[in-house]
Chain A
Amino acid sequence: MAKSPLTFFTICSANYFPLARTLFESLVAHEPGAQFTLFLADTLPHGADISTLPFSVVPAHSLMIPSFADMAFRYDIMEFNTAIKPFCFQHIFADDPSARAVYLDPDIFVTGRFDPIEHAFDQGAELILTPHTLAPLDDGYAPDDRALMQTGAYNLGFAAMRKTLETDVLLNWWADHMRTRCVSDLPGGLFVDQKFMDMAPAFVSRTEIIRHRGLNVAYWNLHERPVAFRDGQWTAGGDPLIFFHFSGVDRNDPEKFSKHQNRYTGSDIGAARQLLETYQQALHTHQDPSWEEHPYAYGAFTCGTPIHHMMRRVYRRVYPEPRDLSEGEVFIFAPDLYNAPSDDLLVPGSRPVSRIMHETWRQRSDLRAAFNLRREKDVDAFSLWFSEKARSEIGLPAQLIPGAKDSPNAPPQTPIATAAKRRARSIRMVGYFSAESGVGEGARVQHMCFEEAGLATSLRTVLPSGFANLADGRQDANDDSAILYLHINADQTPAVLDSLGPGERDGRYTIGYWAWELPIFPVAWSPALDRVDEVWVPSTFTAKALAQVTSKPITVVPHAIQAPSGDRARGRQLLGLSDDVVVVSTVFDTRSFLKRKNPAGALEAFRRARAAQTAIDCVLLIKSHGPLTDQTAQRFFAQAAEEPNVLVRHEVMDAEAMADLYAATDIFLSLHRSEGFGLGIANAMAHGAVVIATGWSGNTDFMTPTNSVLVPSTIRNLVPGDYPFAEGQSWAEPDIAAAEKALADLLRDPAPRHRIGQQAVADMREELSVKRVSQVAAARITTIHDTILS
């Protein structure tokens, strides 16, 4: 076969020009004189002189794609950029049938020669693909193996091909699918151009699935190929680094290594950080406003109205097949296309839902959960929501919003002074009073505390979905309390306040009771701070987090622990265990993050402690509830199932059964990484169990060396996937060996168990009883009245 040099190309729109330029410069630095073409998924910017560029530029419309305009409209900018890839290969092969074409994503940075690719071609390869990774990705971060199964085994940021009978067949087949199916629809089995190429090794016998570790290094394979710089040479996993793929990089912030993943921050990618900064530097050097400021040619209708991605989705649904129309015909703004009643939704008797409304509903899980469009009442409620929010939240033009009106934003700020005129020492409580959740229970107990303190209260129940106007259940009539108390977390506070009427909301001294489990309060929630006058928190740990971001008063009001009501015998019966078995319990909800609750740590400590104490009859009770959709949870339970003496109870238990379960517990094990308060721990202590827990964060407010066992820990920084708002946070890594030792000692010797347990019962009664907490709350309310409101 004729040996010809590699022909490189990339595809991007004008706004990505600096990336393409950077790619080109890095390429020619290692492959001098390389042939390079930029296929522009856009039009040329006005005044751009491409003859001065050191590479050729081919605008996409000159690729002679049938139904070109249809594709340009059907797809958003990212999809369109990938959809034309097979046509670009065909274009190159039409020019030069012997070409060895190499596609590179514009966000690639070349650091070495493409010798392994040349070599593979020399050996007869017709198609060369790079697997995302050569080793499993199943550490609980994204992306994982499942994500690769959904998006494609091979990363199509790179593909190399030469023209043969089989690659011709592959290209025609691929191009044909790209005319309508280059979308990201993971449930439908589609992921732009990439997923289809899983089929390539089946169609092209000489497909080389290349395992060189220096090719296509990116966030999806850094775990198996650490990047290093030695003797002037970049390497990855021991192979020379040929190119790095900076997918999802932020041009300015090296700390955000890639937005498409949560495994790494810029601080834990090793030497790749240096390469990342070099790359960002290069991007800045190649900035070019005349290209970057060119508006995307296929981003607006001929009349100038921007094309919203919901519109493209409606179009795709209405026209599943390619349409041979000109740009003028496709890009004309025809509101009827979007305003027509949805074809898939006909509810007799109710008002019609337009296609764009239906599409919006389909795309948002919160809307799907709140409105059942098969019910007339919900259709009306959704229509109302759409007319009020479609502009501000979705950004749709007025022509597509029936009864559009500008909703009043920014609720008026009210002076505290008016609050003073209202009924003193009376509290309007807003919370999820009817919800079977931790926050709901907290609100009910707090209500109990206010009653205990003799404070007048009135209740307002909201639904946990955040749609407070749809709430039903306990609802007291409007009142005139001076204090508005929201037992609702910061994230939901603005939405709940918005949904209350001004008469109920304004002119009162507003207190928010907020839980948070990590040392830094999320920046995203700071708008909530502007909406309250004071914050109550359950622990000094949370108070410290808030003190960094606000100067408003912060009061620590711990969760009240009701008098222990559980019965040990009943609990043992519930578990089917006799009284002489030592029960070690760990409790969690799969919704509140397994990484934080760390039941795996508890399982490990128990496994090791038991191995050393085989003579003692003991079980680990894992009490949990919550959805099982998460793979991490499933994997944890599968591991637990392999252990003898582990008892799993995955079910919702009512408060009574939970109390019995605490009473039946001898040792409560919580090797959490951080707690805002530690409600489960406090409940177990109130029932006389010996708690072994990580000695860090909220639970140290009430845990002491005499009433429990505190496990030492080391502080570790979080990576993005560890927890919501993980950036800059740290938490504790409990010492499993220390926990194991403490557990083994307690298993062996019942005497200290009894002593510590009795101390715990006494301390909880002293510090966290309803009576005690009601005094704390009442004292603060009095202070507010005496000093602030008067």
Chain B
Amino acid sequence: MGQPVEELSGTPGKGQPVVFTICARNYLPQASLLVASVAQHHPGLKVLVFVLDAQGDEAEIQTFLGVPVVSGADLGLPTFFDMAIRYDILEFSTAIKPACFQYVFGTGAPWAIYLDPDMEVLQPLREVEARLARGAQAVITPHITQPLDMQHDPTELKLIRTGIYNLGFAAIANTEEAHRFVQWWADRMPTDCRVDLDAGIFVDQKYVDLMPSYLPRTDILRHRGYNVAYWNLAHRPLHRSADGPWMIDDDPAVLMHYSGIRADDADIVSVHQNRLTVSDLGEGRALFADYRERLKAQQTALNRSGIATQYAFGTFTSGETITRLMRDVYARTVPPTRAAYADVFSLEKASCVHGATGLTHRAAHLISPIMFDLWNRKAHLQAAFDLKSPASAERFAVWFAETGHREFGIAKAFVPHAVWEVRQERKSLKARWALTTLRMIEWGKKTAFLYPKPFRRAAARTVRRALPHIARRIR
């Protein structure tokens, strides 16, 4: 709209433009397809892949992808490992995005394009380049460009809550004003890159709702061929004539985003939606099928390469899975800290087992933060147990150790040691018998005066002899 074309206000330096993606090792097959498609359509562009959890095997991954690889730990984030346990894989892969932009700008690139690993470039990104050349400091794409509906998932409201613009794609110029925006964005990432819709937060994406306000010359690219995915496919029918390019009506399909696709399930468009079936894709079905086939091939190739595919920040060092719940407990109780991998990921120091709950009674040590958190969330647990009463808290702890942990997929290793002892005490029949006997003896002593002396002496002798045996059964 008549915006003046000005020169880029920053100092781009001498570097070349960069296209980059970010993934954990489980998404390397997707990333390899993306990298190949970028190389095909933009042979001149530099491509970089940030691998979130590369741990010393960057060289192997580089060989697999055929482009330079940077490990997340090398971005220089002071709380990197704290973020690694605070966030789940989705949150964490997005949380380093601003830092990756800063890294790329540091190489002197005049601009950088971020693409999600599950994207594929079908045509050169000419519209983006043109807008950057005309002075845009950023280019972003809205999820939808016309109303959707409130019946199917995702609804219009859900898109508003998760962010107007899809951050699977973002182009940002290396300018002073853009630096300021990216720094503001990056400042939020150590703790506020969560999926927390109630608080108005959705990873890195929701913040970009403010980009058109905070960054002048932010271009909102409404071209229908960009960022084509389940959220806008209802309005964007894919078709092609013979071996020509894929089209959406009269526009070329430029950038596909296969969000939520499953390589081994031909019957779903995306696991994140319920609006479209594969038959709704029409001709586009062939495009999706082709992607799935190539993805499968890449998965096989990755397995053959010998590169570990399991997410490095998904387990404690001793092997127990870190669940969503444990990450939540961590985020609520531990402030952002600079910590080493071994400290954060050690079960012996885990906040979800050893942290404070705020309970103060004698059974408080039996309730770990994760147990307390579960109780706070689940109405049926609150109805059954009252953790503010020590007796009920003890019952809850024993129930949790015996069966409850299974209900929530929590390993036995996360039950405090003290609970096992209590359970042992309560469980043993012999112990119960011993306790009852002890009580009877106490009661007997009070009424001993009723009996003649020889009786009392005999009884006392028996008790003296039996007592060590009884006591042994209790402990």
Residues of B within 8 A of A135 (CB): 214
Partner of A628, one of B82, B198, B209, B333: B333
A211 within 8 A of B: yes
A202 within 8 A of B: yes
| Mask: chain A, 601-625; 1 = CB below 8 Å from B; 0 = not | 0000000000000000000000011
Of A44-52, A193-201, A292-300, the segment with at least 4 beta carbons within 8 Å of chain B is: A193-201
Contact, CB under 8 Å: B160 / A195: yes
Contact, CB under 8 Å: A650 / B1: no
A651 within 8 A of B: yes
Q: Given contacts A134-B214, A153-B212, A201-B212, is CB(A642)–CB(B338) below 8 Å?
A: yes
In the complex, chain B residues 320-373 whose Cβ is within 8 Å of any chain A Cβ: 331-338, 355-356, 358, 360
| Mask: chain A, 121-159; 1 = CB below 8 Å from B; 0 = not | 001110000011111101000000110111001100000
B190 within 8 A of A: yes
Of B101-109, B127-135, B141-149, B287-295, the segment with at least 4 beta carbons within 8 Å of chain A is: B141-149
Task: Give the distance in Å from the alpha carbon of A725 to the alpha carbon of B470 in the complex.
Answer: 64
Contact, CB under 8 Å: A638 / B79: yes
Partner of A202, one of B78, B145, B192, B214: B145
Contact, CB under 8 Å: B164 / A198: yes
Contact, CB under 8 Å: A202 / B144: yes
Contact, CB under 8 Å: B160 / A148: no
A29 within 8 A of B: no
B40 within 8 A of A: no
Contact, CB under 8 Å: A123 / B164: no
In this complex, which of A125, A132, A148, A149 has the most chain B Cβ atoms within 10 angstroms of its Cβ? A149
Q: How far is the CB of A212 from chain B (nearest CB, A)?
A: 12
Residues of B within 8 A of A640 (CB): 335
What is the chain B residue whose CB lies nearest that of A209?
Answer: B212
Contact, CB under 8 Å: A648 / B337: yes
| Mask: chain B, 186-213; 1 = CB below 8 Å from A; 0 = not | 0100111000011111000011011011
Task: Give the distance in Å from the alpha carbon of A519 to the alpha carbon of B209 in the complex.
Answer: 42
Q: How far is the CB of A152 from chain B (nearest CB, A)?
A: 9
Residues of A within 8 A of B466 (CB): none
Contact, CB under 8 Å: B355 / A209: no
Task: Give the distance in Å from the alpha carbon of A190 to the alpha carbon of B157 in the complex.
Answer: 8
Contact, CB under 8 Å: B379 / A374: yes
Of A34-42, A351-359, A629-637, the segment with at least 4 beta carbons within 8 Å of chain B is: A629-637
What is the chain B residue whose CB lies nearest that of A149?
Answer: B200
Contact, CB under 8 Å: A652 / B206: no
B383 within 8 A of A: yes
Task: Give the distance in Å from the alpha carbon of A202 to the alpha carbon of B231 in the complex.
Answer: 13
What is the chain A residue whose CB lies nearest that of B383?
Answer: A374
Q: How far is the CB of A314 from chain B (nearest CB, A)?
A: 22
B184 within 8 A of A: yes
Q: Given contacts A375-B382, A637-B337, A641-B82, is CB(A132)–CB(B199) below 8 Å?
A: no
How many A residues touch B, CB cutoff 8 Å?
Answer: 61
A120 within 8 A of B: yes
Contact, CB under 8 Å: B1 / A169: no
How many B residues touch A, CB cutoff 8 Å?
Answer: 54
Contact, CB under 8 Å: A149 / B209: yes
Q: Given contacts A145-B210, A635-B187, is CB(A641)–CB(B143) below 8 Å?
A: no
B266 within 8 A of A: no
A206 within 8 A of B: yes
Task: Give the distance in Å from the alpha carbon of A381 to the alpha carbon of B298 in the complex.
Answer: 62
Contact, CB under 8 Å: A209 / B79: no
Contact, CB under 8 Å: B78 / A169: no
Task: Give the distance in Å from the alpha carbon of A181 to the alpha carbon of B157 in the complex.
Answer: 10
Task: Give the distance in Å from the alpha carbon of A131 to the alpha carbon of B212 in the complex.
Answer: 8
Residues of B within 8 A of A208 (CB): 1
| Mask: chain A, 177-211; 1 = CB below 8 Å from B; 0 = not | 00001000011011000011011011101111101
Contact, CB under 8 Å: A189 / B335: no
Partner of B336, one of A124, A211, A638: A638
Q: Given contacts A146-B200, A189-B160, A199-B156, is CB(A648)–CB(B213) below 8 Å?
A: no
A278 within 8 A of B: no
Q: Given contacts A146-B200, A209-B213, is CB(A634)–CB(B143) below 8 Å?
A: no
Q: Given contacts A145-B210, A201-B212, A436-B360, is CB(A123)–CB(B379) below 8 Å?
A: no
Partner of B382, one of A133, A202, A206, A374: A374
Residues of A within 8 A of B355 (CB): 651
Task: Give the distance in Å from the alpha carbon of A256 to the alpha carbon of B379 in the complex.
Answer: 43
Contact, CB under 8 Å: A173 / B147: yes
Contact, CB under 8 Å: A132 / B213: yes
B2 within 8 A of A: yes
Residues of B within 8 A of A211 (CB): 216
Partner of B335, one of A195, A196, A207, A637: A637
Task: Give the distance in Å from the alpha carbon of A471 to the alpha carbon of B212 in the complex.
Answer: 53
Partner of B157, one of A123, A154, A189, A638: A189
Q: How far is the CB of A197 from chain B (nearest CB, A)?
A: 10
Task: Give the distance in Å from the alpha carbon of A624 to the alpha carbon of B191 in the complex.
Answer: 17
A372 within 8 A of B: yes
Q: How far is the CB of A505 from chain B (nearest CB, A)?
A: 27
In this complex, which of B184, B337, B382 has the most chain A Cβ atoms within 10 angstroms of its Cβ? B337
In the complex, chain A residues 9-29 whose Cβ is within 8 Å of any chain B Cβ: none
Partner of A123, one of B1, B197, B331, B356: B1
Q: How far is the CB of B375 from chain A (nearest CB, A)?
A: 11
Task: Give the distance in Å from the alpha carbon of A202 to the alpha carbon of B331 in the complex.
Answer: 34
Task: Give the distance in Å from the alpha carbon of A134 to the alpha carbon of B358 in the complex.
Answer: 42
B161 within 8 A of A: yes
Contact, CB under 8 Å: A202 / B187: no
Q: How far is the CB of B189 from chain A (nearest CB, A)?
A: 9
Partner of A138, one of B78, B184, B213: B184
| Mask: chain B, 151-176; 1 = CB below 8 Å from A; 0 = not | 00000110111001100000000000
Q: Given contacts A173-B147, A436-B360, A635-B187, is CB(A201)–CB(B332) below 8 Å?
A: no
Q: Given contacts A638-B336, A641-B338, is CB(A198)–CB(B147) below 8 Å?
A: no
Residues of A within 8 A of B200 (CB): 146, 149-150, 186, 189
Contact, CB under 8 Å: B1 / A638: no
Q: Given contacts A153-B213, A202-B222, A651-B355, is CB(A169)–CB(B336) below 8 Å?
A: no
Residues of B within 8 A of A138 (CB): 184, 187
Q: How far is the CB of A205 from chain B (nearest CB, A)?
A: 5
Contact, CB under 8 Å: B79 / A149: no
In the complex, chain B residues 200-243 whose Cβ is within 8 Å of any chain A Cβ: 200-201, 206-207, 209-210, 212-214, 216, 220, 222
A-B contact pairs, 7 of them (CB 8 A): A123-B1, A181-B157, A199-B142, A203-B147, A640-B335, A642-B338, A651-B356
**Which 7 A-B pairs give the minimum distances between C-beta atoms?**
A202-B142, A637-B335, A131-B213, A189-B161, A150-B200, A187-B198, A652-B356
12 further contact pairs, Cβ within 8 A, besides A374-B382, A634-B192, A634-B336? A134-B216, A138-B184, A189-B200, A198-B160, A202-B164, A202-B220, A203-B145, A375-B386, A633-B335, A638-B190, A638-B191, A651-B355
